[in-house]
Amino acid sequence: MGFNISRYRNIIQREFELEVVTPMFSGGATVNEAELRTPSLKGMLRFWWRATCGSCDVEVLKEKEGKIFGDTAHKASTMVHIEPIGKLIINKDLKFRGEKFRVHGRPVYILDYLAYGTHTYKKGAGNVYHKKHIAPGNRFSLKIDYEEKDAEDVLSALSWMIHYGGIGSRSRNGFGSMFTKIQRPEIPKTSELANYTALSKQSRLFLFSKKNSWHAAHSEAGLAYREARLDIEKPHQYDKRKLISAPITVNKINVADLERHAKPYFLHVRQVDDGNYQGQILYLPYKYLAQDKFTNYKMACENINKKLQELAGGLK
């Protein structure tokens, strides 16, 4: 029987070395354990491809996504494989927790605030982490095989994931940020607002100052986001904050009466060329509400953006 090599024609193979920048709460079947799995990374490539491909036709989007990354009707034309370089360091306790702020007279670390859900408060001990994380500094080898015609799509998705996103739980709060040598994409200002999280002409990027550690950079972006979010209404009121994201848990009770939806803000810590770190917040709004409520959502976001612009020292 002959060996059919046609399926290997026009296939490009690339390898990248990834470095974990901020703690990565990525797990598998055992929820509280930590491991970087290929499906998790491929899932984020899908997300960023969808968010940046520039099409608002959902059916066209699904068809092309299925051909590149696979679905029930298509075998993926893009193959992804990831494995650790050296011994994988996994921690349970968060070594660096960032700057402090006070809630009801009690000090709270900003990174604990951003990592809500990965720890449990215990009287006398503070926040005790039950979810393990892949520690910053771990390195991975990422191998990607893709068809030549899909090169721009695949590499663009990887670039957006590296420079604006993360992997694992609380990635929108800046955890699971990574670094590799790949060109940083610019934010286009052309697309109309979509019904799903995607780039549009309303997207904004807020860049903060450079710091000499990832946790200092993470702290600055986290504190700015918290301050801007709380600034839109009085304490203990949630009419505007619930529009940004839901659920909102207060004393273990959901105080938001809207369906679950993710916030349009992506915190991220980037490792810059001079060896320093920089916190940033990417704003990707989307139309998830009916027009009357969407107007309120847009106004709440604009107020947050105004505060973020002030705290970041200007819009980038």
Give the whole-angstrom CA distance, residue 48 versus residue 101. Answer: 33
Give the whole-angstrom CA distance, residue 282 versus residue 259. Answer: 23
Q: Scanning the structure block, which residue is given the tokens 């306790």?
A: 93
Give the whole-angstrom CA distance, residue 152 versus residue 183. Answer: 12
Helix axes 38-52, 58-69, angle to 10 degrees: 150
In the chain, which residues have pLDDT < 70?
Answer: 1-9, 55-56, 314-316
pTM over 0.75? The answer is yes
| Helix, coil or strand: residue 188 | coil
Phi, psi of 283 (to 5 degrees): -105, 115
Beta bridge partners of 13: 145
* pLDDT at residue 2, rounded to an integer: 41
* pLDDT at residue 235, rounded to an integer: 87
* Number of Cβ atoms within 10 Å of the Cβ of 22: 32
Answer for the pair 110, 99: CB distance below 8 angstroms, yes or no. yes
Instruction: Please measure the distance between the N-terminal and C-terminal CA atoms of the chain and give it in whole angstroms.
Output: 60
pLDDT tens digits, one per residue of 175-227: 999 999 999 999 887 788 888 899 999 999 999 999 999 999 999 999 999 99
* pLDDT at residue 316, rounded to an integer: 57
Give the whole-angstrom CA distance, residue 289 versus residue 19. Answer: 38
Give the whole-angstrom CA distance, residue 96 versus residue 136. Answer: 11
Structural domains for the chain = 11-181 (3.30.70), 203-316 (no CATH)
Give the whole-angstrom CA distance, residue 146 versus residue 12. Answer: 5
Answer for the pair 169, 57: CB distance below 8 angstroms, yes or no. no
* pLDDT at residue 22, rounded to an integer: 98
